[in-house]
Every structure is written in structure tokens, then in C-alpha cells.
Amino acid sequence: MDSGIGLLAAAAAVRRLRPDADLVLSSDPDGMPWGPRSAEDVTRRALECTRAAAAHGLDGLIVACNTASVHALPALRAAFEPGLPIVGTVPAIKPAAAAHRKVAIWATPATTGSSYQRGLIAEFGNGAGITEVACPGLADAVQHADPDAIAAAIAVAATRTPADVSAVVLGCTHYELVVDRISAAVPGAELLCSADAVAAQALRRVPATPGGGTLAVLLSGRSESLPAAALAYPEGAGLAVTPATA
């Protein structure tokens, strides 16, 4: 579940680890972006996305959205656990700060400076110098697969990133879809993503029920195909091909 196509990275990671897993991708393009919305509105929309997905008989839920993980995890867990295990997305601050002394966190304006992110820095920062970098417009540009807007937003964020950082934590799942372009804008810095770790954690918690590798797509509760913008990224194009036809 995510506001938009940022969930593709985690879904693709699950597919790599469990090609037979049946996937339900539930997003809210009608309400995207979630970043500027209030915590209450994000929580309401996250609950709606989850209810729509849960009607498909889920074994587990990945909240593949940093904004929803910041604001909605307690409400989601209260509503659906223990029957439906829920795994949130946490930016990779801990491994970044364990290996690097100068770290930047790229995130949406709503997440940047939030008490949630500041708490993670305090808990896992390991004494590293950590710079929070707001990236206005980047998630929306990725959502629409707009190369010019993506390039412009990345360029602005890169100018806000200290030249001496050796690691950049991607604190928005949308950003993982353009990791190569971000890497080119901050040469020499290691980029740390969350999708692989989140997928592995979800599969540890979810029973290994065999499936057929099917894909269901819900857009603001409506059963649809993957949007054209999703197919512009390798993660989306790969998910569109079922294991049986790969």
C-alpha cells in the first residue's frame, strides 16, 4: 500500500524473493500526493487503501510509504493486527550511520523535520553528522514519470546536500524508482534504500502460502491495470509480466 507508485520497489523486491507470491498493489492516485495532507487525512486514506486490499484476502501488508508509516501505522495496526501482519517502511538511517560519518536523508517536505524522523536520527544516528534534505516535487514527478520534472527536483535536492556526505538515505519510496538518476547527482555517495529490507521482513512474518504469482492493482479502491507511468520503470514493467509468462 502506498499513496502512488512508490510501492513498486517493495513489490518488485517481494517478487524477486517469492516469484509465486500473489500481490495486491493498493494506491491512492486520486489523493496523491499524501505529503502535504494532514496526519488525520493520511491516516484515513491509508485505512481506505488497506480495506480495499484486505478484501482480496491478504496474508500480510507492506506499508510501502514513508508518509503513511510516519502517520498511520498505529491506526492500521489497531484496525488490522494481529490477523493481518503489517510491516512499515523505515528509512535506512541505522545502517547508513553505522558505516558513514556524513549522511544526508532525502525525504518529502512533510517527513523532513518530522518528530518521527528526528526520533529515528536520535535513536540510530550513531553520532554521525546527518543533514535532512527536503525534496519538494520529486515524488510527484516520479509518480507521473516526468523526466524533466524529475531532473529538476533532483538537481534542487542535490544543491541542498552537503558536498562531503558519503551516504544518502532515500526516505521516500518513490525515490527508489530513480535511484540511478539520484546517484548521478550525488557522485561518490552510497545510496541506501528500504525496499529489499522491508520485503524480507514481510516474508519473515507472513506464512509461506504458495500462490500463482498473480497481480491485482487497486487505484483508489478501483480494480485497474498498472498505470502507464508505472510501466515506465523497470520495477513496474517487471511486475506486469507474471512468472508463468516470463
Active site residues: 65, 172
Residue 91 has, within 13 A of its CA and on its CB side, a CA count of 36
HEC per residue, 6-29: HHHHHHHHHHHHCCCCCEEEEECC
H helix or E strand, kind and range, residue 179: helix 179-185
Query: Residue 166, Cα to own-chain centre: how many angstroms?
Result: 22
HEC per residue, 49-80: HHHHHHCCCCCCEECCCHHHHHHCHHHHHHHH
Q: Are 175 and 135 in contact (CB under 8 A)?
A: yes
Of 223, 203, 64, 25, give the one whose Cα is nearest residue 72: 64
Query: What's at 215, amino acid-wise?
Result: L
Distance between CA atoms of residues 24 and 61, nearest Å: 9
**Grid coordinates representing 228?**
502507464
**Grid coordinates representing 233?**
520503470
**DSSP one-letter code for 206:** S
- Can you tell me whether residue 225 is helix, strand or coil? coil
